[in-house]
Structure 1
Amino acid sequence: MSEERQPQQKNMTEEAFSAWFEMLYTRYADDVLRVSYFYLGDRGKAEDVCHDAFLSLFQHRPELKEGSEKSWLMKVALNRCRDIWRSAWMRRVISGSPMFEMIPGPDTIGQRMEKQEIMAAVNSLPPDFREIFILHYYQGYGISEIAEIAGVAEGTVSSRLSRGRKRLEKILGEGSEQA
């Protein structure tokens, strides 16, 4: 491993750390926010999660290898999302309400309804499947990157994607039969 790729955050001067932190925030805050929003369906909570992830980075200064910063931030954010999702407060808020707010766009009502159905179907997946779907299809991560973020084997990621797709096909197929 080359000298410049080794973790050095704890040895940085305050000025160097601030510049490094600002660069990471500029690069990755939008991605962390998007994944958190997709997971939680609440912009305010997603912003809190994003801030928590970066605050954790700032406070703990973990020894991160160059190139692993985004994965670390996503892992922290997803863990925080899981905590919120499990909380009694979130279960009460979501109970009986749609999971995702749809931001109006120029598309047709039919397309909006289809997107809502797909998002509701993804939301109905077990949390482990849902996380992997969000990271792969919404955020564009590869299998090895997802394995690192989720802390599971690559085979597990592939299996969850495959089984999740089958579940989605079944869920969406049942919805179209009822219509």
Structure 2
Amino acid sequence: MDDQELEFEEIMDRYGTDIKRIVYMYVRDYSLADDITQETFIKCFTHYHQFRGDSLRNWLIQIAVNRSKDYLRSAYKKRTLLGDSLINLLKSPSVETKVLEKSIEDDVTACLMNLPVKYREIITLYYYKELTIKEISDTLEKNENTIKSRLRRAKDLLKKEVSKNG
């Protein structure tokens, strides 16, 4: 293995789990999160020479968020949604799905998943990934005041959701 391959392996080991969790928060499908995470790292490796930022972590998050949003907007997703729903009714859940669903049973996480994506992503990046408002602004390519407003609104919505379910 050459030095570049070792470096890429270290990047995947270091950031892989975090990126996969972020992607899952968008797509809510374990195997799809795997695929989009792989796409994220492939894009990172093929465009690594273009990386000029201060934070590799933030760049990877930005790629993952964009890939996830691209999937959610895609016609493929819309066409396969009904077919996937029918297939899921006919087959028993996989071990990975059971484990993931078990971890999501936590009340706050379950309530978070009920929020719209634009609020869920802000809460995830701010509290779970501990990014600053500035880093979130750079990652999502939104104005800092927009991020602050969404964070405030997300907190309010999450409080309502938790009190409704608790």
Asked if 1:20 corresponds to 2:7, the answer is yes
CA displacement 1:114-170 (0-9 Å, x = unmatched): x2x433432232221111111122222222211111111222211111111111222
2:26 and 2:117 in contact (8 A); partners too = no
Instruction: State the distance in 1 between where 2:138 and 2:48 align.
Output: 19
Structure 1 segment 22-37 matched on structure 2, within 5 A: 22-37=9-24
Percent identity for Structure 1 against Structure 2 = 28
So what's the TM-score if we normalise by structure 2?
0.74
In structure 1, the partner of 2:124 is 134
Paired amino acid for 1:103: K
Residue 55, structure 1, aligned to residue 42, structure 2? yes
Correspondence for 2:92: none
- Larger Rg, first or second structure (1 or 2): 1
1:159 aligns with 2:149: yes
1:40 and 2:20 aligned: no
Give the 5 Å matches for 1:1-179: 15-65=2-52, 67-86=54-73, 87-89=77-79, 91-92=81-82, 93=84, 101-103=100-102, 115=106, 117-176=107-166
**Other structure's SS at 2:113 match:** helix
Q: Which residue identity is paired with 1:154? A: E
Give the superposed CA RMSD. Answer: 3.0
Partner of 1:3: none
Paired residue total: 152
Q: Write the deviation string for residues 79-129 of structure 1: whole angstroms up to 9, x where unpaired.
A: 1112233321564347999xx94236xxxxxxx85x2x4334322322211
TM-score with structure 1 setting the length? 0.70
Q: 1:6 matched to which residue of 2?
A: none
Alpha-carbon distance change, 88 to 40 in structure 1, aligned in 2, over 3 angstroms: same
Aligned 8 A contact 1:135 1:146 in 2: yes
Q: Unaligned regions of 5+ residues in structure 2, if any?
A: 90-97
Long gaps (5+) in structure 1: 1-13, 105-111
